[in-house]
Amino acid sequence: MTTSIPQQRSVVLGVGAYLPAKTLTNEELAKLVDTSDEWIVQRTGIKERHIAADGETTSMLGEKAARAALANAGVSAGDIDLIVVGTSTPDWTFPSTATQIQAALGITHGVAFDLQAVCSGFVFALATAEKFLRSGSHKRALVIGAETFSRIIDWSDRTTCVLFGDGAGAMILEAQPSQGGREERGVLTTHLRSDGRHRAKLYVDGGPSATQTVGHLRMEGKEVFRFAVGQVTDVVKDAFAATGLTANDLDWFVPHQANRRIIDMSAQKLGIAPEKIIATVHLHGNTSAASVPLALAAAAADGRIKQGDLVMLEAVGGGFTWGSALIRW
Ligand code: ACO
C-alpha cells in the first residue's frame, strides 16, 4: 500500500465541467475528411465533440469548470490554496495555465502549477494534489483537467481528427482527519506509471525547444490501442492490491474517455461489470486530461455517483503515462 495510516485524507467536496458551445458532429466531419458516422461510431463510439471558439483558451475552459466545481462543493475561490492543472495544450508556453486560472478566480494566495501527462493529466494532478493535502502543507485543492486539442489536431488527417475534442473538468479536494479505514471518505490510493520509450507512438511534432512551433498530434492508433488495453490495467490491479478491495467492491469505473472499445475491453479484462462503467466519450470524444473529470461530473450530476460509493479512476496518455486513483466518494 502506498499509504500507511494517514493523518489526513483528501475528500472530494465537488466536481464540475465545461464544454465549449460549438459542437462538431460526425456528419459534419465527414464533409471535411473522407470518413463516416458509421466508421467513427463503430471504431470509437464517438458521436460528436466540442470545439473552443476563436479566442477561447484552455484557461477559460478550466476557469468555467473550476467555478462549476466550486459551486458544487459549496466553497468559495478564496478557500483554495492549491491549484494543479493537467494540460498539454496550455494557453502559452509560459506562464502556466494554472496561474492564469488562479488570477481569473481572484486567488492571490497559495500555489498554482501545471502538470503535463497528456491524457493521464487529471489522474496525475489528482495524485499530486492528494499528496500535498495528505502531507498537511495545504488544505483545499482545485484539480483541473483542461484542453483545447482542436488547436493541435491536423484537420486533414482523418486517422486522428475524428477522435479529439475540447473541454475541461474540475474537482475540489479537502484535507480531512482520517483513521485510514477503507470505508472512510477520500482518496484511498493512487498509482502512477510512465515509460518514455513509447514516444513515437503518440506525440506532437512541434515544441518550443525542438522546433519553435506548436506542432500537430501524430499517433499510431493501433499501437496505442494495444497498449491501452494490454498494459494499463496493471495500475488498477495495484490499487486493488494496495487496499484489499476487488472489482466486485467497485460501484463505478471511470476510465479515460478515448474510445468506447478500449473502455469496454479494459473493464472486461479487469472483471468490472458493464453497468459500473461511466462513459461519456460519445458526447465529447477524447478531451485528453479533461476526459476523466468530465465523466465524473456527468455521473455526479445525474445522481449515479453518490457519497460513500467506491470509484476507480484510470487513464493512459502519451509518453506513455498511465495511472489510477481509487476514491471513496
Ligand atoms: N474514417 C474512415 N476510415 C478511416 C479513418 C476514418 N476516420 N481512419 C482510418 N481509416 C481507415 C484506415 O485508413 C484503414 O484503411 P485501410 O484498411 O484501407 O488501410 C482502416 O480505416 C482501418 O484503420 P485502422 O487504423 O486499422 O483502424 P482501427 O480499427 O485500428 O481503429 C483507431 C483506429 C480508432 C484510431 C484505433 O486504433 C484507436 O482507437 N486507437 C487508440 C487511439 C487513442 O485512444 N488515442 C488516444 C490515447 S490518449 C492520449 O494520450 C492522447
Query: According to the model, what pLDDT value does residue 320 have?
Result: 97
Mutate to test the pocket of ligand 1, among 40, 156, 225 (most ligand atoms within 8 A of CB): 225
> Atom 50, ligand 1: which residue's CA is nearest?
317
Please work out, in degrees rounded to the nearest 5, the angle formed at the alpha carbon of residue 210 by the alpha carbons of 206 and 211. Answer: 55
Measured from CB, residues less than 6 Å from any atom of ligand 1 are: 35, 39, 43-44, 118-119, 158-159, 162, 202, 219, 221-222, 224-225, 258-259, 262, 286, 288, 316-318
- Ligand 1 atom closest to the Cα of residue 316 is 48
Could you please state the CATH topology (level 3) that the domain comprising 8-177 is classified under.
Answer: Peroxisomal Thiolase; Chain A, domain 1 (3.40.47)
Does the 186-328 domain belong in CATH 3.40.47.10? yes
Q: Could you tell me which residues are beta bridge partners of residue 17? A: 169
Which three three-digit cell numbers place residue 7? Answer: 493523518
The 10s digit of each residue's pLDDT in 39-54 is: 999 999 999 999 999 9
Which three three-digit cell numbers place residue 260? Answer: 468506447
Q: Which residues contact 205 (CB under 8 A, 6 or more apart)?
A: 211, 215, 216, 218
The 10s digit of each residue's pLDDT in 169-198 is: 999 999 999 999 999 999 999 999 999 999
> Atom 33, ligand 1: which residue's CA is nearest?
221
> Atom 24, ligand 1: which residue's CA is nearest?
222
DSSP element (H, E) containing 114: strand 111-115
Q: Which residue has the cell 475491453?
A: 265
Q: Which residue has the cell 496493471?
A: 234
For residue 315, give the nearest of 204, 176, 157, 169 by alpha carbon.
169
Confidence band (pLDDT; 50, 70, 90) for 7? Answer: confident
Kindly report the backbone phi and psi dihedral angles of residue 62, in degrees, each rounded to the nearest multiple of 5, phi listed first. Answer: -60, -40
Mutate to test the pocket of ligand 1, among 43, 120, 219 (most ligand atoms within 8 A of CB): 43
Q: What is the mean pLDDT of residues 60-73?
A: 98
pLDDT, mean over the chain = 97
Residue 138 pLDDT > 80: yes
> Atom 2, ligand 1: which residue's CA is nearest?
35
Residues taking part in catalysis? 119, 256, 286
Determine contact, residues 88/116, Cβ cutoff 8 Å: yes
Query: 293 preceded by cis ω (within 30°)?
Result: no
- Ligand 1 atom closest to the Cα of residue 162 is 7
For residue 68, give the nearest of 117, 119, 109, 105 by alpha carbon.
105
Ligand 1 midpoint to CA 159 (Å): 5
Ligand 1 midpoint to CA 169 (Å): 26
Mutate to test the pocket of ligand 1, among 159, 198, 260, 287 (most ligand atoms within 8 A of CB): 159
How far does CA 18 lie from the centroid of its chain? 13
Residue 87 pLDDT > 60: yes
82-86 vs 140-148, strand pairing mode: parallel
- Ligand 1 atom closest to the Cα of residue 44 is 34
Confidence band (pLDDT; 50, 70, 90) for 1? Answer: low
Ligand 1 midpoint to CA 41 (Å): 12
Q: Which residues contact 9 (CB under 8 A, 6 or more apart)?
A: 134, 175, 176, 177, 178, 180, 184, 185, 186, 187
All CATH 3.40.47.10 domain ranges of the chain, comma separated, are 8-177, 186-328
Query: According to the model, what pLDDT value does residue 4 have?
Result: 52
- SS3 at position 314: strand
